[in-house]
Every structure is written in C-alpha cells, then in structure tokens.
C-alpha cells in the first residue's frame, strides 16, 4: 500500500518542531507523514500518528536484514513513556542489520479513519504497515490490554490466530509482566519472551537473521529453534490437559528437545546493562514528560499480594556513579526539567543518600526537580524530604495497603501506624498539606473492622496535620484515600486465594464511602467490574482465548479506560463461549493443585510461595531480604545481588 512521504501529506511546519530539533532536521530524516492530510485533520491528536520525532532511529533499508515493529497496546501518550520499550528499542537497533520501529494502538477516532479509508496501521519510523515487518512485538503490561492487542493486529493487516499465519506473515512475540501467565492469549502469539529482554530478545533477533541468511528459515523450524533459547516460550510446542472436573491438569512439551519449564532471563550486572543515551522526543504532551532513571530491579520486600515484587527478583542495583552519568547524559539530550528515580521501592536503594547528593550537585543549578515515587513509610526521613522538595512543592503518596496492623501482617507489609503518622508529620512540617494513601479492599482474611481501620487512619493523618509544628498556616489538609480491589496474581503467595465476588466488593466500597464522609478526605476507588475481568485473565488458562476474540467482536478495546470499558459486552462474550468467569476469579485453588503458569520458572520456588501463604493465614511476617534471607530460591539465577548469598540453607525445589 503506497504511503505519503514529505511533500505529499502534511506540509512541513504544520506540526510544531520540538525546541531541541537541529536546524538541519529536514536533511536528518526527510520529515514525512504516515497518513494523508485529510485523515490527520479529522482526528483529535494528529501528533499521535505523525512520526518523524526527533531522536527516532532510521536505518538505510539496503543494509537492513530484518525489521521489527515494537507495539504498545495503548495510546501513544502512554507508550512513549514506557521505559522497557525505550531500553529494548536501543538494544535491538544496536544490532547490525536489524531495525526496530514503534507502533501504538490508535484511538477510536483514528481507527474509524483507517477503516473508512481502507488504510493499515503503520510504524512510526518507516511509515510501513505492520504486515510488512518480519517481527511484530507487544509489551503486555496489564491484562486489560488484550483486546487492544487483537485490534492492533487487525488494523495492521496481520491474521489474528498464530495458526493461520503463513510464511510471509510476521512472527508475533509478546513480553512484559502478563507474559508470565500468557495462557489466555496464546492463540494470538507465536512466542513469548519471559523476563528481561535485553539479552534474550537480541539473541532471538540474531537467530532470525541467521536462519534467513543461510536459507534454513521456515516458520515451523524457527519457532522450534527459538524454544531452545533461554527465556523463550513457544506455546504451540506444548500440550495442555484438563481433568474430569474441568480443572487444569498439566502442560507438557510435545517434543523431547523442548524444555519442560522456561526459565526467565535476567540482567546479572545492572551497571553493565544497556540504558538509552537519547530518547525519542514526542511532539505532543505525554503522561510522563520527564527523565525516568531506573535505579535498581527487584524488591527486598515480600508483600504477599505483589506480583512485581516476586517476578522481578533478584534485587540488582546500579551504582550511584552509573546513575548520575545516565541522568546527566539524558538531561543534556532532552532538556527535561523533571527526573523520576524509578524502582519498586526507591527508599530501599542502599545508596540513596549518595545518589541524591550526586544528583543535587547539578540538578539544583539546572532547576531539575527530583521525584521519588514508591517511598516506604518506614524509611522516610526529614533528610529525604528536604532533598526531594528543593525545587518543587507537591503532595506525597504512601501505601499502607491495609487499615489494621493485623491485616498488614497478613500481607507482610511490615509497616506500622506509627510509621505512617511519622512520615506524614515530616511532610506537613516541610510545607505539605496534601497526602494520598493507597489501600486495597478484599484482601484475604479481611473483615469490616479492617475497613474501619482505613477511615480511622485517614482521620489520624488529619489530626497529625493539626498537631504538627511548622505546618502551612491557613491551609486545610487534604487526605486522598484511593482504594483498589485485591486481585490474586500468579507467582505470589496469594495466587491460590479467591477474589471477593462483584457484589461483596461493591458493598465494601459503599461501606467505605459512608465511613469516609469528611470534608478533608477525598475517596476514590478502582472499579470492581474492571478488577473482576483483570482477575479472570490473571489466573486464566487457554480456554479463555476465544473470549478475548469474542469481546473484541463486540467492540471491546481500551478496556483500561473507564469511558470505553464495557462490562456487559465482556459478560456476553463469556456466555457465548460457555465460560463462567467466576471460576477463575472467585474460586480458591488448593495449594497442591497444578497451575496454568507452572510452565514458567521465575526463580522463586513454589514451596516458598506455599510457606508464605501459610504464614499469611497465621498472621506471621517475613523479614525483608536485607534483614534476613528467607530462601526464596531466586539465587539460582545469579546476578549481582548483595543479599541472596546470605542464604546458606538447603535449596528449595
């Protein structure tokens, strides 16, 4: 399909150039527009689809041996901020002969334009339709993006079912957190990359080019060879069985050379891991217009509801020297005036003081503000508060997760009410008057007394404000209480627990709304209907594949967006496919039962998960990794983890 180039679409200068664009931009990349003028004029944000961004990577087609379109199954504004894509974009484009481009799911107005004008969805760099690529990849960050994956494939002209793709169709690969249980969407992917893709995806790309070059490539042979790569899961090479009760029974390889379990890949040394020196700069505002500095991977805590804390183990830190160099390089390349230090729990970084000291040596002068999300209550200090408040004043967010100490012990949060009130007092004494508190409802063993505890904590925070010396004068406090529903996730000690049914969750939300009636308290909650669908697919198996396709037929897309989520359409899709969604979300699973995701090995053992599950119901806590190694088993993966070697007990299964 012919596509417009510079001079045939929008005229140069219609879209404002980024202030950092060189004056020689036209010679740099022949500023082109992927879609005709009339289409871009008809959509809400044409900058989502224009391409030609400063910092994009272009290659000489005559030297390119293979191409990949890396897709983010949500809007451009969200996808452009994804650090994983930024890293892998640079890694893959660093391979000689390989060209990685970008694509995003179009908003409904652009979807209509593509359909009405018989056009295909294109990648940003070359402007070529997705079906012309050798490989199409998706990052799967949340279960509610699954219908967007199908929409993107459809608009890109790619057969939805992997079984219906021919030799000339792209290989479709998925990765990200949801790939750890990809069973509900295996029909639509040829393979999945499990773990951190810097090394495994590069090896995958080289294998593709090698087999193409020596003439040995066929789709079937390539997928078989990929199954031998570390971290690559090829669903079509496994048989799945269910028992006489309809419960999942087993997943086994079809051939002796295919591994029984796929072990995730990790980057052993984060100081040597790739980090981008330049960023693709968007023409329009994105959700995070800032530098995102990855401080470390993994988490020393063991919150029993948290999937990320388990699948991203072991903890591997970057040195302050490496981080400071990366930060300065990205500032010089982008000019961003805000920087976020990213990790699962930033205040657990062992060299946070030295890092912030190094950064403040130059960020203060440059008026670059530091943002430290995900700060632990028990490690929040006056010194840390002063450092992050040196440029910009804003509210702070803390996550007690539960309203009572009993329930915080069940989930292994390992913080106290005193920790919260002390942290809030520090914030108030430094000029803050707003605090946001994150909680969950529907946690295992939860009672209405635990819900009462949420309201009591919020009021105690307000009382703390008025008793704090140095608080802002003449400003009332605002405490935002945000409550999301518990979702049992694979590879957590709570993976066997049931989610509260829809009616119970709705009742608890109504109860909390009544308890939180206070002019100084704002209450927000995560919809229980979207949480229900998320739980279904989090613990789903291959029988859910037709449901995703049926929901897509009924118009479901952008399900993570409240204005687009259609609960009734999802329920009709389940009904038409003969599936009871409550079986997946509202059923307690025996801890000795086989699980659909048992084919994946994250390093953390199942026996450790069982021990943590039993300790939860006994109300017993487990120390953080830096206090005492609990033998989760992840040390077998290696990596420069400063805490795993302390474990000297017998290795788990």
Question: Does residue 212 carry a pLDDT above 60?
Answer: yes
Question: Does residue 412 carry a pLDDT above 50?
Answer: yes
Question: Does residue 215 carry a pLDDT above 70?
Answer: yes
Cβ atoms of 80 and 71 within 8 Å: the answer is: no
pLDDT digits (tens, 9 = 90+) for 362-380: 998 998 988 877 677 777 7
Cα gap 121→312, rounded to integer Å: 33
Q: For residue 561, give the DSSP letter.
A: S
pLDDT digits (tens, 9 = 90+) for 229-255: 999 999 999 999 999 999 999 999 999
Q: What pLDDT band is residue 181 in, cutting at 50, 70 and 90?
A: very high
Mean pLDDT of the chain: 90
Q: What pLDDT band is residue 85 in, cutting at 50, 70 and 90?
A: very high
Percent of the chain past pLDDT 70, that is, above it, reads 91
298 Ramachandran zone, left/alpha/beta (phi>0; psi -120 to 50) = left
Cα gap 512→403, rounded to integer Å: 11
Q: Which residue has the higher pLDDT, 638 or 63?
A: 63
Question: Does residue 14 carry a pLDDT above 60?
Answer: no
Cβ atoms of 135 and 171 within 8 Å: the answer is: yes
Q: For residue 282, give the DSSP letter.
A: P
Burial class from Cβ neighbours inside 10 Å (0-12, 13-18, 19+) for residue 112 reads: middle
User: Which residue's structure tokens are 């040995």?
Assistant: 216
* Strand ranges inside 358-497, DSSP E: 369-371, 396-401, 434-441, 478-485
Beta 248-253 vs 238-242: how paired, if at all?
A: antiparallel
User: Which residue's structure tokens are 């894509």?
Assistant: 85
Instruction: Record the tokens describing residue 420, joined without a space.
Output: 């919260």
Q: What pLDDT band is residue 431 in, cutting at 50, 70 and 90?
A: confident
Which of 33, 40, 35 is closest to 109 using CA atoms? 40
**435: cis peptide before it, omega within 30°?**
no
Torsion of CA 109, 112, 114, 116, to 10 degrees: -140
**pLDDT the model gives residue 397:** 84
**pLDDT the model gives residue 650:** 45
Which H or E run contains 208? Answer: helix 197-213
Cα gap 320→349, rounded to integer Å: 10
User: Which residue's structure tokens are 């897509």?
Assistant: 552
Fold annotation for 270-392+601-653? Transcription Regulator spoIIAA (3.30.750)
Q: State in words which class domain 47-195+197-263 has.
A: alpha beta
**pLDDT the model gives residue 374:** 66
DSSP β-bridge partners for residue 126: none
Q: Where are the domains of the chain?
A: 47-195+197-263, 270-392+601-653, 395-404+430-526
Q: What sign does the dihedral 160-162-168-173 (CA atoms) show? A: positive
**Helices vs. strands in the chain: H and E counts, helices first:** 21, 19
Range name among 159-163, 261-265, 469-473 with the lowest pLDDT average: 469-473
Task: Give the SS3 label for residue 338.
Answer: strand
Instruction: Record the tokens describing residue 382, joined without a space.
Output: 């006056």
């Amino acid at each position: 399909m012919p596509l417009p180039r510079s001079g045939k679409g929008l005229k140069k200068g219609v879209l404002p150039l980024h202030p950092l664009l060189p004056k020689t931009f036209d010679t740099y990349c022949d500023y082109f527009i992927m879609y005709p003028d009339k289409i871009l004029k008809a959509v809400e944000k044409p900058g989502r689809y224009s391409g030609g961004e400063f910092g994009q990577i272009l290659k000489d087609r005559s030297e390119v041996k293979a191409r990949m379109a890396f897709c983010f199954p949500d809007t451009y504004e969200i996808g452009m901020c994804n650090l994983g894509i930024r890293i892998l974009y640079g890694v893959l484009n660093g391979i000689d002969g390989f060209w990685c481009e970008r694509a995003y799911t179009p908003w409904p107005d652009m979807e209509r334009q593509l359909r009405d004008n018989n056009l295909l969805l294109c990648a940003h760099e070359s402007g070529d339709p997705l079906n012309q690529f050798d490989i199409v990849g998706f990052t799967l960050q949340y279960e509610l993006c699954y219908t967007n994956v199908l929409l993107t494939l459809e608009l890109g002209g790619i057969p939805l079912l992997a079984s219906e793709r021919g030799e000339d169709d792209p290989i479709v690969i998925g990765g990200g957190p949801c790939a750890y249980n990809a069973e509900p969407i295996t029909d639509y992917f040829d393979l999945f990359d499990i773990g951190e893709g810097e090394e495994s995806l590069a090896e995958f790309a080289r294998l593709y080019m090698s087999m193409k070059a020596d003439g040995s490539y066929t789709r079937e042979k390539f997928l078989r060879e990929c199954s031998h790569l570390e971290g690559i899961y090829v669903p079509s090479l496994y048989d799945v069985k269910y028992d006489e009760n309809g419960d999942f029974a087993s997943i086994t390889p079809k051939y002796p050379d295919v591994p029984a379990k796929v072990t995730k890949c990790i980057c052993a040394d984060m100081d040597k891991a790739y980090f981008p020196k330049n960023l693709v700069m968007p023409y329009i505002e994105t959700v995070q217009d800032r530098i995102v500095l990855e401080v470390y991977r993994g988490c020393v805590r063991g919150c029993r509801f948290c999937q990320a804390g388990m699948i991203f183990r072991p903890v591997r830190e970057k040195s302050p020297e490496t981080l400071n160099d990366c930060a300065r390089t990205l500032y010089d390349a982008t000019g961003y005036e805000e920087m976020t230090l990213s990790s699962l729990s930033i205040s657990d970084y062992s060299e946070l003081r030295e890092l912030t000291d190094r950064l403040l040596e130059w960020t203060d002068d440059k008026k670059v503000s530091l943002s430290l999300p995900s700060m632990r209550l028990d490690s929040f200090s006056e010194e840390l508060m002063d450092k992050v408040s040196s440029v910009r004043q804003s509210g702070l967010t803390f996550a007690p997760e539960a309203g009572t100490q009993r329930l915080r012990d069940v989930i292994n949060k390992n913080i106290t009410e005193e920790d919260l009130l002390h942290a809030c007092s520090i914030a108030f004494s430094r000029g803050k008057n707003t605090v946001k508190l994150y909680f969950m409802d529907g946690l295992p063993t939860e009672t209405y007394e635990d819900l009462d505890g949420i309201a009591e904590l919020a009021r105690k925070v307000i009382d703390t404000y008025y008793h704090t010396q140095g608080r802002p004068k003449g400003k009332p406090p605002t405490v935002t209480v945000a409550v999301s529903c518990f979702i049992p996730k694979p590879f957590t000690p709570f993976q066997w627990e049931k989610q509260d049914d829809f009616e119970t969750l709705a009742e608890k939300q109504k109860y909390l709304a009544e308890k939180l009636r206070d002019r100084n308290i704002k209450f927000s909650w995560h919809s229980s209907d979207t949480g229900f669908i998320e739980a279904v697919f989090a613990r789903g198996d291959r029988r859910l594949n037709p449901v995703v396709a049926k929901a897509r037929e009924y118009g479901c897309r952008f399900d993570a967006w409240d204005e687009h989520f259609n609960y009734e359409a999802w329920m009709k899709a389940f009904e038409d496919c003969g599936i009871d969604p409550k079986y997946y979300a509202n059923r307690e699973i025996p801890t000795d039962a086989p699980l659909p995701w048992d084919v994946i090995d994250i390093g953390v053992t199942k026996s450790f998960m069982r021990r943590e599950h039993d300790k939860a119901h006994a109300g017993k806590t487990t120390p953080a990794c830096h206090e005492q190694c609990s033998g989760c088993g992840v040390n077998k993966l290696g990596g420069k983890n400063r805490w795993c070697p302390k474990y000297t007990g017998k290795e788990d299964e």
